Structure 1
């Protein structure tokens, strides 16, 4: 597992290549919650939870199941916020203490071009005016908006889509007018593109 360093140092982020044995890391309760998920999905889920449990251990937590709420969001120990993500070959997790970070979302995508037919779906009309085509063809906006969704839903209990989020890469802020909130955003690139979205907690304000 690799630790990814973001500017917001109160957030722990890790990534791990997905391996065939990773589904064996799932607790029985996690397997039951996955239902009839195929082996590929179980491996992805197991890999993300390996990362999450490794990060939780750094904060003193013992290994524990990470289940899901009815909405599909992962559950975390009291006092912790977190988020899970994966694509076909890499899994990621991010956690933080809730007193420092009030809401948190992470997403990961391969560093590959976004299909052209998805640009209009992902980018708002304003974003298509502000950003040039090479940027729009990358997955930057996609991964950041996915991270915003994951941070926003547990906080605001509202479903949002790509068009509900305006990304300002100059100020590193994502605006969600529908939910009347804004998130700090960060982007990290290696072989994958990792998007982070968060709101500071009371202990950081």
Structure 2
């Protein structure tokens, strides 16, 4: 399913539930120390899928410990992203020579609590979501906006070493198609925003919302 959002050069592995036999390296166990069996199975499945995706890049399987912000620490020369929600897990990876950053997220196609929406959205984004909910109510655009911001967080943070905040974005979604633009807004300090603009795509399928954003390592010719 996720492959519909990914360009050539990005490999993936996905599952619609936890995988029997998924295991963890000892260094990965610390991230789920004290977690319940469901959380541990979800985490182990995601790491298993990440190693499967890495094998499609011909990168040997290796431990993927959690970093300072709990994101996986990928092998040298690789960028990647993992997401999981009820009934779905996916990992995507690419070589740094092809992509500078990428991020994916999955969410249920259900309303986002209003308190959360107002905390993470700008006034411009709130207006767009309200309009889109009228035009295509079968898509939960409020939750989709949140998902794009989650994807952007995963792509931007490793690239810039910081995250300006969920309220410092400008997300443009299109009711007519899957294309999206995710832009970081300038912060209070002088200078350009830390990550700039990402292009991406979204999909609604099987009761899920999927989003992906990426930045090529090199600008497209022409």
Q: Same fold (TM over 0.5)?
A: yes
Q: What TM-score results when the alignment is normalised by the length of structure 1?
A: 0.87
- Are 2:191 and 1:185 equivalent residues in the alignment? no
Correspondences of 1:112-151 after superposition (within 5 Å): 112-131=110-129, 132=131, 134=133, 137-151=141-155
Partner of 2:15: 16
Shift of 1:129: 2.1
Correspondences of 1:149-188 after superposition (within 5 Å): 149-170=153-174, 172-177=180-185, 178=187, 179-180=193-194, 181-188=196-203
Distance in 1 between residues matched to 2:71 and 2:17, nearest whole Å:
21
Rg larger in 1 or in 2? 2
> In 2 relative to 1, CA 20–8 (structure 1 residues): closer, same or farther, beyond 3 Å?
closer
Contact 2:105 2:212 in 1 (8 A): yes
CA deviation vs aligned residue, 1:140-188 (integer Å, no higher than 9, x gap) = 1111100000111111111233211110124621111233411112112
Shift of 1:14: 3.1
Partner of 2:70: 72
Shift of 1:109: 0.8
- After superposing the two structures, state which structure 1 stretch, 92-101 or 122-131, moved more: 122-131
Gaps spanning 5+ residues in structure 2: where?
134-138, 188-192
Q: What TM-score results when the alignment is normalised by the length of structure 2?
A: 0.81
Shift of 1:102: 0.1
SS in 2 for 1:50: helix
Q: Which runs of 4+ in 1 moved over 6 A?
A: none
Aligned length: 203
Shift of 1:3: 5.6
Gaps spanning 5+ residues in structure 1: where?
none
